[in-house]
């Protein structure tokens, strides 16, 4: 048997690991490739030719822009609400023990722990029971709920790492609660807040599972996309939209990740 050091991986193990890694990135490359294909009715591979035509066609479509605008505004409003309500929650929950704190923690985990479909159908039944019309604000309500949780998780983790002695030192030196917040707490948590906000924005923009229940007749970009999957009209345009969605959601998440990494050092 070929000798190798006992704690070195076999060639097979190394190949397997890298193969899985490649497998995980394959689909993204596929999407980008197909955005340039000349075939307009099939998904044939290899693509018959490459073109930028579909990008222009997509940019000319009014319905795509409308859906994009809706998605962006929903994400903006939901993120705004999330930043305010999420920060308030984090400030209240960061320290101190009080009755009901554990219940609140469980409550704040539910939107992420329960499958999206539960949240979706729950919101829908509430909307129907209250005899509301599904629309912009119902979409925002659904998104804001998990956006709050995302911002909360980011900010509370940062707040808990803030040494209590800094806050005490600030007050000891003469700064009241508000000044301490402005000079010490806020600068230290700004990156976490920003990261949470960007994460929330990206996830709201991409949200489909709950939105399908709460949107009624409105179409966010993911909903537009979902509908197009079943009506293969101009497939490459769908591919272009896919690339756009990918970039709009990926960039904020990447930035948020870099921010949290820097904050943790």
Partner 1 sequence: MRELSTFLYRRPTMYLLLLLVPPLLWFGTVYLGSLFTLLAQSIYAIDEFTAKVVYSPTLATYKQVVTQPANIDIILRTLSMSVAVTIACGLIALPIANYMVRYASPRARALFYVGVMLPMWMSYLVKVYAWRLILAKQGILSWLLDTMGLGAALEAVLRIPAIGGPSLSASYIGMFIVFVYMWLPFMILPLAAALEKVPESLLQASADLGARPVQTFRRVTLPLALPGLAAGSVFTFSLTLGDYIIPSVVGAPGYFIGMMVYQQQGTAGNIPLAAAFSVVPIVLIMIYLAIARRAGAFDAL
Partner 2 sequence: MTCAIEFRDVSRVYGEVRAVDRVSLTVEPGEFFAMLGPSGSGKTTCLRLVAGFETPDSGSVLLNGRDVTDDPPYARDVNTVFQDYALFPHMSVLENVAYGPRVRGQRKQDWQRRAQEMLELVQLGHFGERRPSQLSGGQRQRVSLARALINQPQVLLLDEPLGALDLKLREEMQLELKNLQRRLGITFVFVTHDQGEALSMADRVAVFNRGRIEQLDTPRTLYTRPATAFVASFVGSANVVTGELAQRLSGRSDPFAVRAENIRLRTLTATADAGSMSCIGDVADVQYHGAMSRWQVRLDSGEVFAAALADAHANGDFKVGARVRLEWSRADAVPLAATERP
Contacts to partner 2 from residues 210-239, by CB under 8 A = none
Q: Which does 66 bind (CB under 5 to 8 A by kind): partner 1, partner 2, none?
A: none
Q: Which does 169 bind (CB under 5 to 8 A by kind): partner 1, partner 2, none?
A: partner 2
Which region, judged by CB under 8 A, interacts with partner 2, from 2-10, 28-36, 152-160, 170-178? Answer: 170-178
Binding residue for partner 2 (CB under 8 A) from 122, 141, 175, 246?
175
61-84: burial string, b at 16+ Cβ within 10 Å, e else: beebeebbebbbebbebbbbbbbe
Written as six digits, the tokens of 70 are: 């809706």
Closest CB 177 distance from partner 2, rounded Å? 8
Sign of the alpha-carbon torsion through 229, 230, 231, 232: positive
Please say which residue, 180 or 249, places its beta carbon nearer to partner 2: 180
- Under the binding rule (CB under 8 A), the answer on residue 187 touching partner 2 is yes
Distance between terminal CA atoms of the chain?
Answer: 46
In 95-246, the DSSP E strands lie at none
Binding residue for partner 2 (CB under 8 A) from 183, 258, 261, 262?
183
CA distance 210 to 225: 15
Helix pair angle (53-60, 235-264), 10° resolution: 90
Please say which residue, 144 or 191, places its beta carbon nearer to partner 1: 144
Closest CB 91 distance from partner 2, rounded Å? 18
CA distance 143 to 151: 12
Site for partner 2 in 114-153 (CB under 8 A): none
Cβ pair 216, 74 in contact under 8 A: no
Q: Which does 194 bind (CB under 5 to 8 A by kind): partner 2, partner 1, none?
A: none
Please say which residue, 73 or 188, places its beta carbon nearer to partner 2: 188
CA distance 140 to 158: 26
Closest CB 112 distance from partner 1, rounded Å? 10
Written as six digits, the tokens of 143 are: 């998104």
Q: Which does 174 bind (CB under 5 to 8 A by kind): partner 1, partner 2, none?
A: partner 2
- Under the binding rule (CB under 8 A), the answer on residue 96 touching partner 2 is no
Binding mask 148-167 for partner 2 (x = CB under 8 A): ---------------x-xx-
CA distance 48 to 38: 6
| Backbone φ, ψ for residue 50 (5° rounding) | -120, 140
**Residues in the site for partner 2, rule: CB under 8 A?**
163, 165-166, 168-177, 179, 183-184, 187-188
């Amino acid at each position: 048997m070929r000798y190798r050091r006992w704690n070195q991986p076999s060639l097979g193990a190394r190949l397997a690991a890298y193969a899985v890694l490649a497998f995980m990135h394959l689909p993204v490359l596929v999407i980008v490739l197909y955005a340039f294909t000349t075939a307009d009715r099939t998904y044939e591979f290899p693509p018959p030719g490459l073109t930028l035509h579909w990008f222009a066609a997509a940019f000319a479509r009014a319905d795509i822009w409308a859906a994009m605008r809706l998605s962006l505004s929903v994400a903006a409003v939901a993120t705004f609400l999330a930043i305010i309500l999420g920060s308030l929650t984090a400030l209240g929950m960061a320290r101190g023990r009080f009755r009901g704190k554990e219940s609140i923690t469980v409550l704040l985990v539910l939107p992420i722990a329960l499958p999206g479909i539960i949240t979706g159908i729950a919101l829908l039944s509430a909307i129907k029971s209250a005899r509301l019309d599904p629309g912009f604000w119902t979409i925002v309500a659904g998104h804001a709920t998990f956006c709050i949780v995302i911002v909360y998780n980011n900010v509370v983790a940062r707040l808990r790492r803030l040494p209590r002695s800094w806050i005490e030192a600030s007050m000891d030196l003469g700064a009241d609660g508000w000044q301490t917040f402005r000079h010490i707490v806020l600068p230290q948590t700004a990156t976490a807040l920003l990261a949470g906000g960007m994460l929330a924005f990206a996830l709201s923009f991409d949200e489909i599972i709950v939105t399908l229940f709460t949107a009624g007749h409105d179409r966010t970009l993911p909903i537009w996309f979902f509908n197009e999957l079943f009506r293969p009209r101009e497939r490459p345009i769908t591919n272009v939209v896919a690339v756009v969605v990918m970039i709009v959601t990926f960039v904020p998440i990447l930035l948020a990740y870099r921010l949290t990494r820097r904050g943790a050092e």
